Structure 1
Amino acid sequence: MRIYISADMEGVTGLVDADDVQPDGRDYERGRLMMAEDVNAAVRGAVAAGATEITVNDAHGPMRNLLPEFLHPAARLIRGKPKHMGMLEGLTPEHDAVICVGYHSRAGALGVLSHSFMGHEIEDMWLDGRPVGEIGLAHATAAAIGVPVTVLTGDDCACAEMTECDASVRTVAVKYARDRFAADLRPAEEAHAAIEKAVTFSLSTPPKTSAAPATPTTLRVRWQSASVASTLLGIPGVTSADSRTVQAQGTLPGLYRLFGVWMRVAASLTNQAPYC
């Protein structure tokens, strides 16, 4: 059984502030160790379920957050950037399940460290008219590849967002949002045990799916900056919905990769810290 783990950071046990998750933050070093503990709990759960191969993709920010020496030895790590498929780099149809660790709710939600991919640069996103963030886009892309998401961990808002998208996904709330930078924290030992148990249970009979037929999908993104939207119109196939909103039609996972190009263009045009 081959398991793929996409590891973000904002939804990790105990973390609530930008200082916890950004490399220049005063508590970042502690945050990256907490990230490793959540990931290792998921790896232990996968091993207990009989996984023979486990791939972990460091999917947060610089994508160099997980320290290899602190990762469970049963897992291989994909680290660094750029990655053509970003948060889903390395996911193939040969995997049996996707586990999303440390995920967060989309921009506009009152969840802990909520945003969509780029801090406040992305105001809204829609996939075929349905509001999405990192959770929804990752779920849809994994489905297009033919691999089901079986577990998601994060705060209660991220868990609710996943359930709204797909109620069959088992979720683990490791904290409960009080506001965007405040939470009622579940004790770390308890949270790790819950992650491990959920992963083992979900993989006992993993729902292997086939890739959905490639059908045209429309991705629409509203940016904070009209300059970003204007520049993206230079990419073939990108059209304007209004002065700050662009859209493109394609098939997943190709559209997911195209969105990664949009983000790299946006990053070259903006120089503002996220979470402000």
Structure 2
Amino acid sequence: MRIYVSADMEGVTGLVDSDDVQPGGRDYERGRSMMAEDVNAAVRGALAAGASAALVNDAHGPMRNLLPEALHPAARLVRGKPKQMGMLEGLTGEYDAVVCVGYHARAGALGVLSHSFMGHEIEDMWLDGRPVGEIGLAHATAAALGVPVVTLTGDDAACAEMTAWDASVATVPVKYAHDRFAAELRPPREARKAIEEGVARALAELPPRARDGVRPAAEATLTVRWQSASVAATLLGIPSVTAVDSRTVRAAGPLPALYRLFGVWMRVASALTNQPPYC
């Protein structure tokens, strides 16, 4: 059994503020250590369930948060950027399950450090007309590759978002949002025990997956409303991108190709804007 771990940071045990998750922040070094401990708990759970291999993708910000020497020795690490598949770099249909560690709620939700991919630069997103953030888009893309998301860890808002998207995914809340930068925290030892046990249980209950080769890719439509009309206008220079209004663009295509296209949109937006992610 091969397990893929997508590791974000905002939903990690104990972290509540931008200083915890941004390089240069006064508590960032502590935050990256906390991130590694949550990831290692997930890896231990996967190994306990019989996993033979685990690939961890550092999926937060600069994607250089996890220190290789801090990671469980049974796991391989994908580190750095750019990555064509961003938060899902390295995921293929050869994996049996996806575990999302440290995830957060989408933009507009009252969750700890909630946003969608680019701080407040992205105001809203929809996949096939359904409100979506990092959780739903990762789930849909993994599903298109034939790999189920089995567990998600984060605050209670992220867990509720995952349950609303797919109630079959096991969730592990490690903190309970009081506001966007405040939460009631589970003790780290308790939270990591819950992560380890939650991952092990979810994988133990995972039914055998039929591997029927390449399946026809389903069409999907992604719509993004940006804070800046300049971003939306510039993206119209990309073939297949159409305008919904002055700040909203749309494109249709199969996942995961649409996920890769969205990554291009974010690189364009980053080149055009210079705003901190949490304001």
Both proteins in one fold, TM over 0.5: yes
Deviation at 1:209, TM superposition (A): 6.1
Task: Tell me if the contact between 2:11 and 2:102 (Cα under 8 Å) persists in the aligned partners.
Answer: yes
2:59 corresponds in structure 1 to 59
Q: 1:147-175 CA deviation, whole Å, 9 max, x = no partner? A: 00000000000000000000000000000
1:14 corresponds in structure 2 to 14
Task: Tell me if the contact between 1:21 and 1:28 (Cα under 8 Å) persists in the aligned partners.
Answer: yes
Deviation at 1:103, TM superposition (A): 0.1
The runs of 5 or more residues in structure 1 that have no matched partner are none
2:273 corresponds in structure 1 to 270
Distance 1:187 1:216 in 2: 43
Aligned-partner residue type, residue 247 of structure 1: R
Distance 2:200 2:241 in 1: 42
Aligned-partner residue type, residue 154 of structure 2: G
Q: How many pairs align?
A: 276
Q: 1:104-143 CA deviation, whole Å, 9 max, x = no partner? A: 0000000000000000000000000000000000000000
Task: Tell me if the contact between 2:141 and 2:256 (Cα under 8 Å) persists in the aligned partners.
Answer: yes
Structure 1: which 4+ aligned runs deviate by more than 4 Å? 209-212
1:156 corresponds in structure 2 to 156
2:86 corresponds in structure 1 to 86
2:251 corresponds in structure 1 to 248
How high is the sequence identity, in percent, across the aligned residues? 79
Aligned-partner residue type, residue 193 of structure 1: K
The range that moved more, 96-105 or 204-213, is 204-213
Distance 2:262 2:140 in 1: 14
Taking structure 1 as the reference length, what is the TM-score of the superposition? Answer: 0.99
Q: CA RMSD in A?
A: 0.9
The runs of 5 or more residues in structure 2 that have no matched partner are none
2:223 corresponds in structure 1 to 220
**Inter-CA distance 242–28: structure 2 relative to 1 (3 Å threshold):** same
Deviation at 1:216, TM superposition (A): 1.7
Task: Tell me if the contact between 2:144 and 2:218 (Cα under 8 Å) persists in the aligned partners.
Answer: no
1:90-239 map, 5 Å: 90-207=90-207, 208=209, 213-239=216-242
Task: Tell me if the contact between 1:143 and 1:212 (Cα under 8 Å) persists in the aligned partners.
Answer: no
Q: 1:176-199 CA deviation, whole Å, 9 max, x = no partner? A: 000000000000000000000001
Q: 1:214-239 CA deviation, whole Å, 9 max, x = no partner? A: 22211000000000000000000000
Q: 1:11-63 CA deviation, whole Å, 9 max, x = no partner? A: 00000000000001100000000000000000000111111010000000000
**Inter-CA distance 107–80: structure 2 relative to 1 (3 Å threshold):** same
Taking structure 2 as the reference length, what is the TM-score of the superposition? Answer: 0.98
SS in 2 for 1:272: coil
Deviation at 1:206, TM superposition (A): 1.9
Aligned-partner residue type, residue 68 of structure 1: P
